[in-house]
Amino acid sequence: MLYKALASKPWYPWLVVGLCLLTVSASNGLINNGLTVFDESLLIEFGWSISELKTRDSISFLCGAIFVLGAGYVVDKYGPKPLLLLGMALLAIGYFSYGRIESLSQLYSMHILFGMVLACAGNMTAIVTAASWVEHRRGLAVGLVIAGTSIGGILIPPTANYLNQAFGWRLAMQYEAIFPLLMMLLIFLLIKNRPVHKQTKSKRTQIKKELSEGVPLAQVLKKLSFYQVAIAGALTYFTVTSIFSHMFLYMRSLDYASEQASLALSTMALLALVGKLFSGYMSDRINPHTLFRAQMLCMLVGVLGTSQLNEFIWVFLLFTGFGWGGLHTLYNYILIALFGLRDAGKINSIVSLAEAAGAGMGIFVTGYLRDYFGNYPDALLVSAGLMTIATICVFAIKPSNAKSEQRESVG
C-alpha cells in the first residue's frame, strides 16, 4: 500500500491528520448535519410527528454511545484503521439504503447502523489516531481533526439541499453514499495502522514512553475531575444537538426559506470550524482550562440568545457555533491533558458514552417539547438551562495535568 512508502516521510503524520479530518467530515457531517436537510421532505411524505422523526437521531447517538465502549478497547488493542474502514463501509451502505426506506421502523434501523458508524469512524477513533502520530503541536492536530465536523457541516447541508431539490430525497441520499466510499479507499491506501518511528533507539524509547504515560483507567475513575468533564460533556452535547438537529425546522418555523435554513446550519458549522482551529492553536500556548471556561461562556451566551431572542438569531448563531467549535476540541484535549495517552481510548470512549447519551436525549426531548408547547423557544429553554449547569461544572474542575495525576496515583 502507499503508506509503506509514505510512513517514513516527516510530513506523513500531518497527512494522517488530514485523512482523519476528512473521515470525521464524512461520518459526523452526513449523520449529524446532512440528514436534517431532508427532514421536511420526510415529514411531508410520511406524515410523522417531529418527535417521531427526531427519535431517529437519538437512536444514532445512544447506539453510538453503547458501541463506542467496545470501539475504545479495539483501538487500544488492534489500532484504529480496521474501525475507520468499517465505519466508512457502514456509512455508505446506510446512506444508500436510507433512500429506500418505507416505514418508521426501517428509518430507526438505519440509525442503529449510523450509531455503529459514529463509534467506528467518529471523533474518538480519529482523535486517538491523530494524537498517536503527532508528537508536537498535538493540540493543533486534535483541533484540525475535530474541524472535520464543521467542514462537513459547512459543505454537506447546502449540497444535500441542492440534490434534494434536483433529484428528490431518495436519489439524493444514494448519490451522497459516494463520499464515504471514496474515504474508505483513501484510508485503505494511505493510513498505517500504528505509528512506526525509524529514529534512533533513544527517540523510539522516548516516543514509547510518551504513548504509555498517563493515569490508569482504574485511577481515572476515582477522580472528581473526570466526572465533572463527563457531566459537562453530556449536558453540552444535549444542548448542541438540540440546536443543530432542530435548527432547520426552527428556521422554517420563523418563515425562513429552505435555502436560508440550510445556510443557518452552514453558518454555525463555519463558526464552529473557526472555534475548533482557534482552540486547537491556543491550547498549545495558554492554559487550556482557562480557554475551556471562556468557550463555555461563549456558547452559553449563544444558546440563550438563539433560543429566546429569535429577532437576533443570526448574531447569536455566531456565538453558538464558535463556542461549540472550541468546546468540541477542548473536551477531548482536556482529557489527554488531565490523564495522558496511556488509556486514552478507554477514557475517551467512556466520556463519549456520556456525551452521546446527552446528545441523544437532547434531540428527543427537544422534539417532544416542541410538539408539546407548539413552538421552539419554549422547547429550547430547557437546553439553555442545562448549558448553564454544564458551565458551572467546567468552572469547578481543578486544573491539573497527566504527569501530576500519574504521580498522585502512584503515590
Q: What is the pLDDT of residues 200-256, one digit of tens each?
A: 455 555 555 555 567 777 888 888 888 999 999 999 999 998 998 899 899 999 999
Which carries the bigger pLDDT value, residue 135 or residue 298?
Answer: 298
Q: Under a CB-based contact definition with an 8 Å cutoff, are residues 244 and 33 in contact?
A: yes
Q: What is the pLDDT of residues 255-278, one digit of tens each?
A: 999 889 889 988 998 898 888 788
Q: Is the pLDDT of residue 409 over 70?
A: no
Per-residue pLDDT at 210: 54
Q: Under a CB-based contact definition with an 8 Å cutoff, are residues 121 and 114 in contact?
A: no
Per-residue pLDDT at 198: 45
Q: Is the pLDDT of residue 7 over 60?
A: yes
Per-residue pLDDT at 197: 47
Q: Is the pLDDT of residue 99 over 50?
A: yes
Tell me the domain boundaries of the chain: 12-192+210-410
Which superfamily does CATH assign the domain made up of 12-192+210-410 to?
MFS general substrate transporter like domains (1.20.1250.20)
pLDDT band at residue 199 using 50, 70 and 90 as cut-offs: very low
Per-residue pLDDT at 200: 47
Per-residue pLDDT at 68: 78
Q: How big is the CA angle at 358 (ends 357 and 361), to the nearest 5 degrees?
A: 85
Mean of the per-residue pLDDT values of the chain: 85
Which carries the bigger pLDDT value, residue 224 or residue 137?
Answer: 224
pLDDT band at residue 289 using 50, 70 and 90 as cut-offs: confident
Q: How big is the CA angle at 69 (ends 404 and 326), to the nearest 5 degrees?
A: 60
Q: Which H, E and C letters describe 338-382, residue by residue?
A: HHECCCHHHHHHHHHHHHHHHHHHHHHHHHHHHHHHCCHHHHHHH
Least confident stretch, 170-184, 287-301, 342-356: 342-356
